[in-house]
Amino acid sequence: MKKFLALTLALVMSLSLVACGDKKTDDTKTDEPDQKTEQPTENEGAYKVAMITDYGDITDQSFNQTTYEACKAFAEDNDIEFNYFKPVGDNTADRVAMIEKAADEGYNVIVMPGYAFGGAIVEAAPEFPDVKFIALDVAAGDLLETAVAKAGKTYDYTPDNWDLSEYVDMSNVYCAVYQEELCGYMAGYAAVKLGYKNLGFLGGMAVPAVVRYGYGFVQGVDAAAADLGLTDVSLNYVYGGQFFGDADITAVMDTWYAGGTEVVFACGGGIYTSAVDAAKKANAKVIGVDVDQAGVIAGYAGVEGMTVTSAMKGLYPTTYDTLTDVIVNGNWDAYKGKIATLGLVSGDDPELNYVQIPMGEGTQWSDSFTQDDYKAMVKDMFDGKITVSNDVSKAPSDFATVIAVEDQGAIKG
């Protein structure tokens, strides 16, 4: 993990950007912002960095906390003023209010983690043309949903049908999204190779990023079962309809584990608590998401060893490296106006990639699935020998060839 967090700027900036947002593609390689050749022209001392939290906070041990820690580390390493702002409520108006507050207080680089900032960017970014907005996990569709409605038209939730430039002013905005389907695949493949045959996927809300995680997971489970010649692998699939656990969701997880489910991929903020509560009663397992959640899950459950692995995004290096290149190197022109899709950048070292599973103790390695096996799988993904679909228009069962998938829809909503 440490090596992953130390991803070099040279590697990040050696690749070219593919501004594809939500565009459907099975290409497992990813491209990033173009390298600028001119020397920095801006005074880094003039910058102030702010982070706006989404509906969580900086102690969520997931998306917000990881982004906050990256911003804080960058600011301390470069002697730049930093602060974070937490909206009062979970809505666009309150997020916009915090953006306005940060800008009014002189913060001119604002980092925003999560798809929920799509509407806030559309509303607030044009108001502050001198502020640089860096958004993580905000795709074209997240922006268009608000922008198209603002233009008096009806959005059809198909980003490819719309010209983003006609509806959204991206002149001071950079967005990074991830190929969640890849690390979802890795987690599913690893789980079956590690001996689990009865699995579950518990998503939060069925937003594109969560769906991509889930569909990648199904494909990984199916591929591993096929490789092992198994025909008795099953997978329960459901969305909670929210990003936090509660008694109703825990009750469904209790039913799953009582029915033989051995491990559940809990994907969506705090919803993991329901999976962990149920797994603890059944002496069963969970899979974490976004970051290496082994420690988080152990701390919450009071039990070590519950986490099989975690499907991880590179939130920390994305934040740290982008701030470094924009502020220290003066390369904002290589980022503004673009949506980068981040995934695999190395076929030889999985820890350099923006999507991965933990190489350390966060994965329960065994003779049936070793670190060398994982490296070989990543190499095949990077080389295109393994392809993973991110077609969110399909159903989970559409990706099953040898496994049985029971799609249970949504628990709430």
Pairwise CA distance, residues 344 & 372, whole Å: 17
pTM > 0.95: yes or no: no
Q: Which residue has the higher pLDDT, 217 or 6?
A: 217
Confidence of residue 31 (pLDDT cuts 50, 70, 90): very low
E strand segments, 227-360: 234-239, 263-267, 285-290, 307-313, 338-342, 355-356
pLDDT-wise least confident of 32-41, 87-96, 305-314, 339-348? 32-41
User: Which residues does 122 contact at the CB level (< 8 Å), separation at least 6?
Assistant: 143, 146, 147, 150, 168
Answer whether residue 392 shows pLDDT above 80: yes
Structural contact between residues 264 and 256, judged by C-beta atoms closer than 8 angstroms: yes
> What is the average per-residue pLDDT within 122-147?
96
Over the chain, what is the mean pLDDT?
89
Confidence of residue 331 (pLDDT cuts 50, 70, 90): very high
Q: Which residue has the higher pLDDT, 58 or 122?
A: 122
The token duo for 222 is 């199916």
Distances (CA, A) of 353 to 128, 172, 268, 322, 383: 33, 27, 21, 15, 14
Confidence of residue 62 (pLDDT cuts 50, 70, 90): confident
Pairwise CA distance, residues 152 & 144, whole Å: 12
The token duo for 18 is 């593919």
The number of helix segments (H) and strand segments (E) in the chain equals 14, 13
Answer whether residue 27 shows pLDDT above 50: no
Residue 405: in which H helix or E strand, if any? strand 404-410
**Over the Cα atoms of the chain, what is R_g?**
21
Counted residue by residue, the chain has a size of 413
Confidence of residue 291 (pLDDT cuts 50, 70, 90): confident
Report the SS3 class of residue 283: coil
Residue with tokens 């082994």: 294
- Residue among 362, 23, 32, 348 at smallest CA distance from 163: 23
Structural contact between residues 117 and 95, judged by C-beta atoms closer than 8 angstroms: yes
Phi, psi (5° rounding) for residue 311? -90, 115
Pairwise CA distance, residues 159 & 179, whole Å: 17
- Residue among 282, 401, 295 at smallest CA distance from 358: 295
First CA to last CA across the chain, in angstroms?
A: 36
> What is the average per-residue pLDDT within 46-67?
87
Confidence of residue 354 (pLDDT cuts 50, 70, 90): very high
Pairwise CA distance, residues 334 & 331, whole Å: 6
Structural contact between residues 333 and 21, judged by C-beta atoms closer than 8 angstroms: no
Report the SS3 class of residue 178: strand
What is the residue-wise DSSP string for 28-63? Answer: -B---PPPP-SPP-S-GGG-EEEEE--SS-TTSSSH
Residue 185: in which H helix or E strand, if any? helix 180-193
pLDDT score of 115: 87
pLDDT score of 143: 97
Distances (CA, A) of 267 to 135, 168, 228, 344: 20, 30, 26, 21
Beta bridge partners of 285: 263
